[in-house]
Amino acid sequence: AQSVTQLDSQVPVFEEAPVELRCNYSSSVSVYLFWYVQYPNQGLQLLLKYLSGSTLVKSINGFEAEFNKSQTSFHLRKPSVHISDTAEYFCAVSARYNQGGKLIFGQGTELSVKP
Amino acid sequence: EAGVAQSPRYKIIEKRQSVAFWCNPISGHATLYWYQQILGQGPKLLIQFQNNGVVDDSQLPKDRFSAERLKGVDSTLKIQPAKLEDSAVYLCASSPTQWSEAFFGQGTRLTVV
């Protein structure tokens, strides 16, 4: 079975500062990893994903995450945040092809960007 | 391409009443999920369908919750009878396969009073 731990429930940060949201996972099989973002009163939107290949993946709005197999981590980073990045961020894990496929979420990290 | 549609958006019921939620996934998506998201928590998987078969329902409280996916397309989730602790947002998501990213609907916010 897979599980996800997001190490920070809330992360306050000033606009234009860098930010890192931490995610660790546990799994006995190879995994796919995802970051989703949820704005107030909306559903979850995929931010970025790691399926295979390069361990550094990037989103179109400046976020990036790096898959670290030895540390079982998939931390999300952005070098300079904007007010509009204020949202809840969820890390999720799914077992690889032919080994399950159940999508499991962490508890979420509330990113609050202040002017 | 139309997204995942859910209805209703909001529902308020009294405890011990019954309620049903409806989900229409993205066309062609074989996998459908129902999640329960309690305020301040991450989504918790209730049930996963692959076409019209159940892949996982290990966290579905089967004494009061039921779900079906007729003809491998639309799905309904029912709660009968509802308890106060069922107050949450119920999210439906669909995916082309079990191993690709999931696309989420707007959710149904249920309040049990």
Closest CB from A43, A49, A96 relative to B91: A43
Give the C-alpha separation, B108 to B90, whole Å.
Answer: 5
**pLDDT, one tens digit for every residue, chain B (113 residues):** 689 999 999 999 999 999 999 999 999 999 999 999 999 889 999 999 998 899 889 999 999 999 999 888 999 999 999 999 999 999 999 998 777 789 999 999 999 99
Low-confidence ranges of chain A (pLDDT < 70): 97-101
Strand partners, A104: A93
- Rounded to the nearest angstrom, the minimum Cα separation between B63 and chain A is 22
Which distant-in-sequence residues (6+ apart) come within 8 Å of A23 by Cβ? Answer: A4, A5, A6, A7, A33, A35, A65, A73, A74, A75, A76, A91, A106
Residue boundaries of the structural domains of chain A: 3-114
Whole-number pLDDT of residue B36: 97
Whole-number pLDDT of residue A102: 80
Domains within chain B, CATH numbers bracketed: 5-112 (2.60.40.10)
Closest CB from A32, A46, A105 relative to B99: A32
- Rounded to the nearest angstrom, the minimum Cα separation between B81 and chain A is 26
- Structural domain A3-114, CATH architecture: Sandwich (2.60)
Contact A101 B31 (CB under 8 A): yes
Whole-number pLDDT of residue A97: 64
Across chain A, mean pLDDT equals 92
